[in-house]
Structure 1
Amino acid sequence: MREIVFDTETTGLNPAGGDRMVEIGCIEMINRVETGRHFHAYFNPERAMPSEAEAVHGLSTIFLSAQPLFADKVEELIEFLGDAPLVAHNASFDFGFLNQELLICGRPTVCMSRMVDTLVLARARHPGAKHSLDALCTRFGVDRSLRVKHGALLDAQLLAQVYVELTGGRQIGLGLVAETDAREVRVSGPTVTVREPRVPRPHFASSEELERHRAFIAQMASPLWERYAAVA
């Protein structure tokens, strides 16, 4: 299954009040494994960056003024997202900004049914614990040493690792072949053969084997175990 883990950086907390998205980072995963494909872009919000927000992500008005508008990158973003489920931490926040930008461009918004919220998953799995991205990285042993400030692509990469742990860990896809007949199958590549499993061997001695064992033991002179049996 294809999924997109993403994160955004913004000018503030309220898209309906005029705040804008200034960065998005997206990581492609298939069956909970990163493929190496990603989408990353900065956007010119066409407004000044508040100092409080700049302190969080380090993106200044001067830097962003030289970046493309969201509308200039929207087609590329939509193509990358496709129809995959979208995974984010406190996802309603990121969905709110993404859909606001899509509305400004006159594009259809992303259906909320595609939303997978890792904050909800974390609260269900570890009630009462801390659920920030930093706290989850610490809990699952995800290296966040490069996270000096918030950054959409880096945070999406960290979240992808956290998401794997929240949904079963590194061996989520481990399974056993249960087929009983040899057959050919195609799994994202060349045809491979699934062969009939070998019939299990019996794990008990036959009467003939037991008789041979008794005859072998009878030939032994003063076996060690007889000494301990006499003491007992």
Structure 2
Amino acid sequence: MSEQLSQLQRLCTETWDAFKAKSEFFKLVQDGLCDRRLYALLLIQTYHYTRHNAINQAMVCQNPKINDFNYMKYCLDHAQEEVGHEMMAFHDLKHAGFAVESPSVLPKPSLETDIFVAYVYYISQTGNPVQRLGYSFWAEDAYDHIMPTLQIAAQNMKLKKSAMTFFIDHAAIDQKHSEDVHKQILRVCKTQDDWDAVKTAMLGTLTLTHRLLEGIARDYSLLVQGKLPHHEFLGSETSFAEVVS
């Protein structure tokens, strides 16, 4: 691994650590929350942003500045591999005990998710074409940062593995993707401007993802208060506990 790639990894870890130290989302789980509805809110937003990943990855090839055919092929191949991964999050929602028949019944994405998705489309189609790799760089390795907390959630919420395929099975898929991303970054980053573009996109997408998670914590608070519209299908903590006990 090159020194610049190592610096990216250290910056990514530092950014995650700083966020987790003050995150309301992580605090809810680590304080022992047993209510599966928080996990349901996470899966809903995960479904919404993941369904765009194949599309915005492929759209890198529409960037007028792209001229590396091998990088274009990588983007299209990776996009094909991402198709349909959002359905893992949807099926996890069903296996967690929530009555959802199709993705069409899910609430609309949160504002934080919409902003995150819009930014990824922006960095995919404009600016330095290599910057989309900044998103992939941390996203394919995000499980190292979130799985310890999700394991706590699984224990407290009594979640079976069948309700965690996105974060368990998907992690195995993304291990190879991470290796591919590292190879691409080392191959396509030929100037300091390239490395800076990757770093900027990494930090931008990380920041917006952390805001997305805090939005989930806020929505959970609203849900508990009965003030989150269009989420009635999630039921109440008491009624849900009766179903899964």
**TM bin (shorter chain):** under 0.3
Larger Rg over CA atoms: 1
Q: TM-score, normalised by structure 1?
A: 0.26
Structure with the higher helix share, 1 or 2: 2
Q: TM-score, normalised by structure 2?
A: 0.25
* Higher relative contact order structure (alpha carbons within 8 Å, sequence separation ≥ 6): 2
